[in-house]
Amino acid sequence: MTRVIIEKGRAVGVECAKGTRRIVYKAQQEVVLSAGAIATPKLMMLSGLGPAEQIRRQGLTVHADIPGVGQNLQDHTEISLVYQLNGPHSYDKYKKLHWKAAAGLNYALFRNGPASSNLIEGGAFWWGNKDETVPDIQYFMVVGAGIEEGVDAVPGGNGCTVNLGQIRPRSRGEVTLASADPLANPRVAPRYFSDPHDLDAITEGTMAALDIMAQPAIASFVETRHAPAPNLTSRADIRTFCQRTAHAALHPSGTCRMGQDDMAVVDPQLRVRGIEGLRIADASIMPTLISGNPNSVCIMIGERAAEFLRV
């Protein structure tokens, strides 16, 4: 899909591209945009719905000046602590072919064993900012190392990873239109840690994780700490480590947020403000990113949208 077609203040269909062909689908009732927190604001702006100045700059027609489109981008950041274990205690041993075959056979015959694991077998919540009434740090114990893209494996082969995320970020980024070409990516500026509170909180959360991993019950299985390097011990060292190695949790949201103020993009029934016949149903409508993994909330948003459409 390349844009929503707007006629006389109403969404009347969508335009799609197939190769060089342009295909138009007319809506009988309404159009629902559900392209996610990056692509939805881009499609809105390509359709002439968003900050007027930005749309005009790309030579497009403005159908509704909605300044909040693309603003309020939120995401969780994550830190990965990687440990080398002193034996084959984690799922890393199943990276070897014979163990992999054994795990496959076990699953084929009994539907259990390591191949039935989601690899993240432990979780917890704790405080990075003690002034918060509920925890703002989420922990995951990943029973292996180097499983996720961009996270180190360990030289010894057997490792584990503690992932932790700061789940109520105060930093806000934006998605802006970089081109009128629907195939071009929008400009995404996440601005992680632009509010220093987020880095402070995740540093505290990381200090707590290091403390947990130093307790005898788990430390007896650990050979050495791989990341952060064992010589990084002070709070200042760990803060720098967090700043350098934090990665996106890939939970973008908030870029077409729900509300009733001037910066809101959709109303509480998910209707785009200022345009008839157009709703948004995806992570972009969240005013504030939830304190946890957002997929179930996105499903709920879709189900609510379906209910609103039925009325």
Ligand X SMILES: Cc1cc2nc3c(=O)[nH]c(=O)nc-3n(C[C@H](O)[C@H](O)[C@H](O)COP(=O)(O)OP(=O)(O)OC[C@H]3O[C@@H](n4cnc5c(N)ncnc54)[C@H](O)[C@@H]3O)c2cc1C
Contact residues for ligand X, defined by CB under 6 A? 1, 34-37, 39, 43, 250-251, 282-283, 293-295, 298
Distances (CA, A) of 249 to 34, 78, 102, 181, 267: 20, 6, 32, 28, 27
Angstrom distance (rounded) from CA 272 to CA 45? 13
Select 269 or 295, whichever has its Cβ closest to ligand X: 295
Q: How far is the CB of 124 from ligand X (least distance, A)?
A: 16
Q: How far is the CB of 21 from ligand X (least distance, A)?
A: 15
**Are the beta carbons of 94 and 277 closer than 8 angstroms?**
no
Angstrom distance (rounded) from CA 49 to CA 276? 12
Select 119 or 207, whichever has its Cβ closest to ligand X: 119
Q: How far is the CB of 190 from ligand X (least distance, A)?
A: 14
Select 36 or 157, whichever has its Cβ closest to ligand X: 36
Q: How far is the CB of 158 from ligand X (least distance, A)?
A: 24
Select 144 or 294, whichever has its Cβ closest to ligand X: 294
Residue type present at position 106:
N
DSSP per residue over 84-148, as a string?
Answer: EESSS-SGGGGGSHHHHHHHHHHHHHHS-SGGG--SEEEEEEE-SSTTSSS--EEEEEESSSS-S
Q: How far is the CB of 210 from ligand X (least distance, A)?
A: 24
**Are the beta carbons of 144 and 211 closer than 8 angstroms?**
no
**Are the beta carbons of 115 and 139 closer than 8 angstroms?**
no
Select 180 or 232, whichever has its Cβ closest to ligand X: 180
Distances (CA, A) of 172 to 31, 83, 126, 169, 249: 28, 32, 23, 8, 15
Residue type present at position 75:
D
β-partners of residue 297 are: none
Single out the catalytic residue among 63, 76, 226, 251: 251
Active site residue 76: no
Regarding beta strands 247-248 and 137-142, do their DSSP bridges make them parallel or antiparallel, or are they unpaired?
A: unpaired
Q: How far is the CB of 138 from ligand X (least distance, A)?
A: 11
Angstrom distance (rounded) from CA 94 to CA 82? 18
Select 2 or 194, whichever has its Cβ closest to ligand X: 2
Hey, which residues are catalytic here? 251
